[in-house]
Amino acid sequence: MPQQTDSTEPEPASPASPDPPPGETRPDRAVVRDALGVGVAVGLSGFAFGVTAVGSGISLAQACALSLFVFTGASQFALVSALAAGGSPLTAAAGAFFLGTRNAFYGLSLSTLLRLPRGVRPAAAHWVIDETSVVALAQPDRRSARIGFTVTGATLFVLWNLTTLLGALGAGALGDTKAWGLDAAGPAVFLALLAPMLRTLAERVTAAVAVVLGLGLLPVLPAGVPVLVAALAAPLVLTGHRLTPAGRGVRPGRSEKREEGPR
């Protein structure tokens, strides 16, 4: 009796995933493509900042100086929004400064990852923002992280300053800038980048409490102050977490005091 053979052919191999497994490098072309995509998409929103800045009473030179020397969109929008709402320059600057401090925490992670030469660190520090940090920290190795950081930073810096100038120049032609809703472009981009980074429950609760504090105090406190008060969300959530069994290191489903077994 002839032996029956298996006529099934082996299944073709599945196409390779675009993202390599941990420990492997990414093609430089793929890193540059992703970095350019982020840099171009966010850099174009500088037009909205230029329009909003001039509409809030800031001169063209001041708007361009903010983009050139501050170069952090959330802080810039917070500053001009507070000024437009009638806040004092000191309060507006304090809110913008507070938002900018997050870049210092990005720098702590990026300094270990990138390990840039001492001579370029001061210049690179100016590019430590949300977008460059997200792209660099998403890479699997140091070389890819350096490429992603550099390409994102250079693209975004050039486009952001160029579109700020164009927006400030075109603000007069647009008429009432508030009617266009361009002041929401910057915060929308910031939230789009921040949302994927809120992975744990504590991070999501902190963000939610900050939003409630910031929005709830808008009608009560002067412009710019609710942003500062929203910072209380972090210690409030951290304190609440430490009071829970998980925060004290107690495993779920087990009492803090070990029960005695049967005698």
Q: How far apart are CA 15 and CA 23, in angstroms?
A: 20
Please give the single-letter amino acid code of residue 252. P
What pLDDT score was predicted for residue 102?
A: 83
Instruction: Give the number of residues written for the chain.
Output: 263
pLDDT tens digits along 156-207? 999 999 999 999 998 767 666 566 665 566 566 666 656 666 778 877 888 8
7, pLDDT greater than 90: no
Question: What span, in angstroms and rounded, lies between the C-alpha atoms of 165 and 160?
Answer: 9
Q: Please tell me the predicted confidence (pLDDT) of residue 12.
A: 45
- State the pLDDT confidence band at 153, using cuts at 50, 70 and 90: very high
124 CB burial (10 A radius; 0-12, 13-18, 19+): buried
Cα–Cα distances (Å) from 167 to 17, 67, 170, 174, 189, in that order, read: 40, 12, 5, 10, 17
Query: Which of 70-79, 175-184, 204-213, 242-251 is modeled with the greatest confidence?
Result: 70-79
- The reported pLDDT for the residue numbered 193 is 59
Q: What is the mean predicted confidence (pLDDT) over 92-99?
A: 84
